[in-house]
């Protein structure tokens, strides 16, 4: 790869991260058009890397290509959220199962640090920080499963689930209750009880989904 190719890839990654964060966090709301020229002016990045970033986001389902040209932020629906949940329910409990069997000593140590941090955040009632740590918890379980294909699939699902949650409903109190379930899942993984870890993760995801749906009045 020559210097120009490297620079192009770096600019595309920067443009992607910029747009991704604005979309997932709702700064660019569902249904709004994404205008290349506006992104050029906001970032100082040329059109070509921005166009590639937009193409990548469209392939991931965060942007919709319009029939007459241009793109807009995808408008999430409860039906899509349900479909995503069904995928997650099929895969993530298995990640917990394999994590209990394959977690390394270093990952154990990192998990203990994370759980201590989550406990402190609960005591401080910092719900926004707890949401961030909750996502980290699920990602660490994925990494501990030592299955690169499962990791790849689930990380794409996490992107969409975060986007859909922010677009449909955002309920802080569920995050706080979820901490107790996280602690139970971690104890099962720590004890290398794969079957219990799998069951607890399935129960956690089901409660999570049911709670969000109960709050959605779409």
**Of 73, 92, 127, which marks where a domain is finished?**
73
Per-residue pLDDT at 172: 62
Residues 56 and 116 grouped into a single domain: no
Domain with 121, as residue range(s), is 78-215
Task: Give, for all 218 residues of the chain, the pLDDT tens digit.
Answer: 444 454 567 899 999 999 998 988 788 988 999 999 999 999 999 999 999 999 999 988 889 999 888 999 998 777 888 898 899 999 999 999 999 999 999 999 999 999 999 999 888 888 778 878 888 999 999 999 999 999 989 888 877 777 776 665 456 667 677 888 999 999 999 999 999 999 999 999 998 888 877 876 54
Query: Tokens 């040329």 identify what position?
Result: 46
**Alpha-carbon gap, residue 21 to 9, rounded angstroms:** 18
Read off the pLDDT of residues 55-75 as tens digits, 9 standing for 90 and up.
999 988 889 999 888 999 998
Query: Tokens 């909750």 identify what position?
Result: 134
Whether the Cβ atoms of residue 94 and residue 150 lie closer than 8 Å to each other: yes
Residues 126 and 169 grouped into a single domain: yes
End-to-end CA gap in the chain: 49
Read off the pLDDT of residues 189-212 as tens digits, 9 standing for 90 and up.
999 999 999 999 999 999 888 887
**Alpha-carbon gap, residue 104 to 145, rounded angstroms:** 10
CATH code for the domain of 23: 1.10.10.10
**Alpha-carbon gap, residue 39 to 32, rounded angstroms:** 13
Per-residue pLDDT at 3: 44
Contacts by residues 34-42 (CB-CB < 8 Å, ≥ 24 positions apart) = 34/63, 34/70, 34/71, 34/72, 34/73, 35/70, 39/15, 42/18
Residues 13 and 64 grouped into a single domain: yes
Residues 59 and 95 grouped into a single domain: no
- Determine whether 198 is exposed, middle or buried from the number of CB atoms within 10 Å of its CB (0-12, 13-18, 19+): buried
Strands 71-73 and 63-65: antiparallel
Helices vs. strands in the chain: H and E counts, helices first: 9, 3
Helices (H), 44-171: 47-59, 78-102, 105-124, 127-144, 148-168
């Amino acid at each position: 790869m020559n210097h120009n190719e490297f620079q192009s890839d770096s600019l595309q990654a920067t443009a992607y991260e910029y747009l991704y964060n604005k979309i997932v966090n709702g700064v660019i709301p569902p249904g709004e058009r994404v205008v290349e020229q506006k992104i050029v002016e906001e970032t100082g990045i040329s059109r070509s890397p921005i166009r590639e970033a937009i193409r990548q986001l469209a392939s991931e389902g965060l942007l919709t290509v319009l029939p007459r040209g241009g793109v807009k932020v995808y408008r999430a629906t409860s039906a899509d959220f349900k479909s995503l949940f069904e995928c997650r329910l099929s895969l993530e409990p298995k990640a917990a199962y394999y994590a209990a069997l394959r977690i390394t000593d270093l990952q154990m140590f990192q998990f203990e640090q994370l759980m201590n941090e989550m406990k402190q955040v609960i005591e401080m009632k910092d719900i926004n920080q707890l949401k961030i740590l909750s996502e980290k918890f699920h990602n660490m379980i994925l990494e501990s499963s030592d299955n690169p294909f499962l990791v790849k699939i689930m990380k794409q699902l996490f992107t969409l689930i975060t986007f859909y949650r922010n677009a449909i409903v955002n309920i802080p109190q569920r995050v706080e209750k979820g901490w107790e379930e996280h602690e139970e899942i971690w104890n099962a993984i720590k004890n290398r009880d794969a079957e219990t870890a799998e069951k607890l993760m399935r129960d956690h995801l089901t409660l999570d989904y049911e709670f969000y749906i109960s709050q959605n009045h779409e």
